[in-house]
Chain A
Amino acid sequence: MRRATSPEAPEVSAIATTARSRLPFDKLGVLIAAMAGSAAFLPFATFRVNRIVLGEGRALFAALPFGEAAFLAIAIAAGIVLAVSKTPARWRLAVSLAILVALCVAIGHASTFLTPPGDRMARVSPGSGFWLSIFAFALLAADAIVRLKLAPIVRIGILAAVALFLALLLASGTLSDLSILREYANRGDTFWREARTHLALALGSLAVAVVAGVPLGIVLHGRRGWRAPVLSVLNVIQTIPSLALFGLLIAPLAWLAANVPLAAALGISGIGAAPAMVALFAYSLLPVVANTVVGLDNVPPAADDAARGMGMTDWQRLVGVQLPLSFPVILTSIRIVLVQNIGLATVAALIGAGGLGVFVFQGIGQSAMDLVLLGAVPTVALAFVAAVVLDATVEMASTRSARRGRD
């Protein structure tokens, strides 16, 4: 029986592999091509006579001088062919980054091309075709980076290069006629102030959550009976919608400010930074506490026993063995919390805490989408940078011992 079937099995799988490798196209590439292809039928830029009227779409060839539009169209077509066919990841990364650069420069040129000379009221903003193309080729680049299995430090290097390129592009004035930068030009000072507030809210609440959450996790690790109740409470907090939690905190903090002189002296009040910090802190606790507990639980029992058996005190064991070994897991929670807080801090603008959300809500109030973008784009960029940098750090922390072992 075995003799009959065993020579057959590898044959069948060999056929399957050749069939798979004979597939003439890349699966994700087809999706990317579909997105980039359909983007050609969507407006590349949107033109409005002023910042609040409804815009009219402009196709690629209407938004740019013919030569430049043709160049971009050919580049995108080449990118689509490359994405669909089976090509080395290195090529896919290089070409997708080049197309992203071309798209960014082109949208700047389109805004200058579409704005009548001397007109300060007209607004040109990126159209849905532009956004879809950017998304498609960013996906292609991200996929290529994953396939290349780049070292964490190289990924941070690529991120820094992209950031530097964007900074140079912004400083060069190529994008100055774009609506979002027109809004920025009107609010230069407040933009940086709100950006700083935004970071202070996100990082400050994270810092407090780590300072409080890691010790709480350590305590829960030692007392199994307390685990379920404490983690349930933190879980319930996570389920409260952010806007509701911000609102719920107004009353108690206002009472505190009115009745405790010290609280008022510290600047605590019902609205503003205090309730925002408290709410962001409350959201941050669950990931930090839960991951600290899990990280400590996963310390190899033999290493822990050896540490005790060799005469380490509880404190020496915690600092020298348990925390270093659970560090990658705790760092993962910091990544989750930071990205989450950068997003949630936007909502804090509603209770007067400031931050980039200020522009989002002002923009909604004035139906000025450019202003919404001025708040939203930097928020997304911040969250993205935080995610990439911390992912790379987590990877470095967890492979550190393995890499040192190979030296």
Chain B
Amino acid sequence: MVEIDDLTKDYAARRVVDGVSFTVGDGEIAAVVGPSGSGKTTLLRMINRLIEPSSGSVRIDGKDTRAVPPHVLRRGIGYAIQGYGLFPHRTVAQNIATVPRLMGWARARIDARVDALLDLFQLPAAEFRHRMPNSLSGGQQQRVGVARALAAEPNVLLMDEPFGALDPIIRTKAQSDLLAIQRRFGTTIIVVTHDIEEAIHLGSRIAVLDAGKLVQYATPADVIARPATPLVAELIGGDRPFRLLSLGKVVDLVEAGPASGEPIRADASLRDAYAELLWTRRDVLPVIDATGTVVGRIRRDAITVRAGAPS
């Protein structure tokens, strides 16, 4: 759990972060969004004290971050950034082993952990352990960067635009991979992004910053349905109904009944189902589960109801 309490940062006359307070529960993902210059990176860097707050405090699992020296604090918090920051003179394995080595883990334990993480991130250990970062593709470097951040099994992971340099297809895959790994380890994640789509996809809650102030902290559905300020509404943009649909799954609206034609999977988003209905000019779609068995159908009318503004 991360408790951020009245956090403020002043640079000379400028207040970059202004009295921000919010709490990220265990295993939650908080996505911090806002226009550029809204102070989101500064906020993130104050959590692991790369920037010292002017006032306010941060507690991680109930413990004030000022209770230990900064470098000791940071070893316990995962850190992944845009550009990944891999060490070009060290192998993939050495990069991932950075924090465990700083913490003085035994050799065998480090090796086992590195291999486990490489396999988890679909980078076969035998092939990738001894590669140098500059021989990897952008997507591979990104995965090594996150694997390195998770190496010492931190409870909390901070990410600053971790997918910013990836092309759209690889980015979507990387986001799903992150969600899968987060569910597996139960890591609490605070991720900074400028992309509202990414925030809606990743966040259990979204924190919207505007000129250093926290203007809304709510679930994605709430942020879309009830934007707190005109700026939040502007961030969400005109395609609110579709963003709402992207949060729901087909399985939520499955009902019994006949349907024909190409089926859709139960774990697809309502947005994908709606797009399929529109494109194939149908009113109902058969729904199948992961094994391919038909489990029911989904109606266009039912989806349409979900896409409207809450009354």
Contact = CB atoms under 8 A, between A and B. Distances in A.
Given A316-B102, A402-B132, A402-B134, A303 B72 contact: no
A302 B84 contact: yes
A306 B86 contact: yes
B99 A303 contact: no
Residue among A309, A312, A402, A405 with the highest chain B CB neighbour number at 10 A: A309
A310 B81 contact: no
Interface in A44-85: none
Contact of A311 (B87, B91, B102, B158): B102
Contacts of A306: 79, 81, 84-87, 145, 148
Contacts of B148: 306, 310
Interface string A297-319: 00010111111111111001000
Interface residues of A, number: 24
Nearest to B158: A309
A325 B132 CA distance: 14
A300 B74 CA distance: 20
B37 interface: no
Contacts of A119: none
Contact of A324 (B76, B89, B145): B89
A312 B71 contact: yes
A5 interface: no
B74 A311 contact: yes
A309 B132 contact: no
Interface string A364-407: 00000000000000000000000000000000000011101111
A351 interface: no
Interface of B: 48, 50, 71-76, 79, 81-89, 91, 98-99, 102, 130-135, 145, 148-149, 158
Interface of A: 300, 302-313, 316, 321, 324-325, 400-402, 404-407
Give 8 closest A-B pairs by Cβ, nearest first.
A306-B85, A405-B135, A311-B75, A405-B132, A311-B74, A302-B85, A309-B79, A302-B83
25 contacts: A302-B81, A302-B84, A302-B85, A303-B86, A303-B87, A303-B88, A304-B85, A305-B81, A306-B145, A307-B85, A308-B74, A310-B74, A310-B148, A311-B71, A311-B73, A311-B74, A321-B87, A324-B89, A401-B88, A404-B91, A404-B132, A405-B131, A405-B132, A406-B135, A407-B130
